[in-house]
Structure 1
Amino acid sequence: MFVEQRIEPREPLQLPLRLGDGVEAVTRDISPSGMYLEIRGDHLIGGTVFFEMDLAEAHMRFSAEGRIVRLEHRDGVTGVALRLIAPRLESTG
């Protein structure tokens, strides 16, 4: 049986983001402490990843490092569950 381990509820939200190595991804849900994103292709990612999200309409940029807590491979997509480390929200305007 699956036991929910999330600290905070996540909100479904689909936003484009860019990983530190330039790979494009899309969020599926996000909370103050974590997020789930999907990347096209079968990626083997370990440890931590850095990412940036440009929130143009709000004139903001969100960036963080995320510790990978789960990977899922299905139908040519890699799902990545992250626990956020040191998230930053900066004004771009």
Structure 2
Amino acid sequence: MTIENDNIKNQQHKEDIAFRRGLLDKHSQLMRMYLRDNNIKLAKAQFEIIKPVFNFLNNEGEIMRYYTLEDFERDSKRFEKMSI
């Protein structure tokens, strides 16, 4: 019974990670699109969505190739400097 519960928890955790990776991917794409269009307000809104998702995945030890720690740090500094 314990092994079965552990397997269920592991599967749910994997699904949660996959879902959050998808969120990060889509919102980072939207943020980049808004930045290309010079829509800073909407880009910053997307970044605010990205922050907790990225932090969660980073704390879990997940490696993101499409939105890296360097990207996150750069965007943090960028939006910190901009006042809307």
Q: TM-score range by the shorter chain?
A: under 0.3
Q: Quick check: which has more Rg, 1 or 2?
A: 2
Say which structure is richer in strand: 1
> Relative CO higher for 1 or 2, CA cutoff 8 Å, sep ≥ 6?
2
**What is the TM-score normalised by the length of structure 1?**
0.22
Say which structure is richer in helix: 2
**What is the TM-score normalised by the length of structure 2?**
0.23
